[in-house]
Structure 1
Amino acid sequence: MTDARAGDLARNRALWAVVNARFTDAAAEEQWTRPDPVWGLFAVPERELGALGEVRGLEVVELACGTAYVSAWLARAGATVVAVDLSAEQLATARRLQGQLGPRFPLVQADGELVPLADGCADLVVSEHGVAAWCDPERWVAEAARLLRPGGRLVFLTNSHLSALCVPDDEGVAAERLVRGHREAYRVRWPGGGAEFHPSHGDWVRLLRRAGLVVEALHEVFAPADGGGDHPFYEIVSHEWASRWPAEELWVASRPA
């Protein structure tokens, strides 16, 4: 690992300790108790997107799980889940909610670019606003492919490339114009914040194919048209912006059987 990448990891770990203390610990209980899975900043129901399919009986690894609410949803739906995250603080919140609400499943503190799990251990690798933005795609995509057994699927949600082009350097709300060059969004170091990755569609296709995965779907995710406000603390896009342009991308790829 390069010194620059080690610095990025330390920076991101420190950022998520602060974010967990200020925001996500308080929000996590509501997320854990949702009856059905949703995706992204505006809680678009999985039943509308159909990215996960039937998960009962599957072995699942969630990468960069945060407070592990996605893993909780999948475990309640009958999957066997392992949740992985770099942040000790986020995992502590997950562990607290396991004790309060259940279900229990393994929580592993590890970098999504180097996961201490066996080759071919998963039918499904999933991440919702986690590994895709915070880990180097040159490394984590190959790692996800390693974890998948033949016929397994990778499903991940990340910020849309368009939104990354429209968010100013001071991390304000996305503008209605491009403020960043196409290639500049691949790696962004926010002033006073973390280091993120926002590959283009072409980059994602290249990375997934190089890892031996086949792209099955790309869902461009908008805010629901039937009202709703801005996200309570992630202010990267407004509801109005996200109702006009896709704020998020939900990718589905598979490892050939």
Structure 2
Amino acid sequence: MSEDRAAEIAENRRLWAIVNERWTDAAAEGMWRRAEMAWGLFTVPEHQLGVLGDVRGLDVLDLACGTGYVAAWLARAGARPVALDFSGEQLATARHLQTRLGPDFPLVQGDAERVPLAGGQFDLVVSEHGAAAWCDPERWLPEVARLLRPGGRLVFLTNSNLSTLCVPAEGGVAQDRLLRGQREVHRVQWPGGGFEFHPSHGEWIRQLRRSGFVVEAMHELYAPAAGLDHPFYEIVSPEWATAWPAEELWVATLEPQR
């Protein structure tokens, strides 16, 4: 890993320690207590999208898991999840909620670009607003391919490329016009110091194919007509997100080796 990339990861880790302080116990607990998997800023129920299918008995990695609520949902649905994140503070919150609420599953501290787990042990990798934005796709997608069994699936959620193009350079909420060039947002440093990746659709497909994946679907997620602001992450307003997609939910399958 280059010194520049190591510095970016260290900066992101610092920012997520701050985020964890703001992500109150009540907010994190509310996510853990949800009865059903839901996706994104506007909590679109999994049963409306059906991207995961039946996860009972599957070995699942929740990559860049944050406070671990997705892994908790998967465990209650009958999966065998492992939750991984590079933030010790986020994992501490996850461990606290796991002790209080259950269920029990492994929590691992590690970088999604260099996962400290053996390959070929998962049927499904899920990342909900985690690896896709904060990790270099040239690094984390090959890692997922290594970790999956042949025919395994990757499901990841990230900000829409369009929303990133519409956010002012000084930060804030997406506007109703393009404010950045397409190539500018592949790698973005926000005013607060964080580094993110927002490839174009063509680049996502190229990187997924390069790592051996076949793209099965890409769902564009909008806010409901009566949508409310997300309590933490505000890159789009509900009004913007009813007109344009705020998030993209990608589904891909790892081709069996020939």
TM-score range, shorter chain: over 0.9
TM-score, normalised by the number of residues in structure 1: 0.98
In structure 2, list runs of 5 or more residues that go unmatched. Answer: none
Q: CA deviation at 1:170?
A: 2.1
**What residue number does 2:69 align with?**
69
Q: For residues 26-66 of structure 1, what are the alpha-carbon distances to aligned partners after superposition, in whole Å with 9 as ceiling and x for unaligned? A: 41100000000000000011111111111000000111000
1:237 aligns with 2:252: no
Which 4+ residue blocks in structure 1 deviate beyond 2 angstroms?
Answer: 23-26
1:87 aligns with 2:87: yes
1:101 aligns with 2:88: no
1:30 aligns with 2:16: no
Q: CA deviation at 1:24?
A: 5.2
**What residue number does 1:14 align with?**
14
**What residue number does 1:53 align with?**
53
Q: CA deviation at 1:23?
A: 2.2
**What residue number does 1:135 align with?**
135
For the residue of structure 2 that corresponds to 1:175, the secondary structure is coil
- Alpha-carbon distance in structure 2 between the residues aligned to 1:110 and 1:219: 28
Identical pairs, percent: 70
For the residue of structure 1 that corresponds to 2:23, the secondary structure is helix
**What residue number does 1:160 align with?**
160
- Alpha-carbon distance in structure 1 between the residues aligned to 2:77 and 2:232: 28
**What residue number does 2:193 align with?**
193
Q: CA deviation at 1:193?
A: 2.9
Q: CA deviation at 1:229?
A: 1.6
In structure 1, list runs of 5 or more residues that go unmatched. Answer: none
TM-score, normalised by the number of residues in structure 2: 0.97
- Alpha-carbon distance in structure 1 between the residues aligned to 2:195 and 2:255: 32
The Cα RMSD (Å) is 0.9
For the residue of structure 1 that corresponds to 2:74, the secondary structure is helix
How many corresponding residue pairs? 256
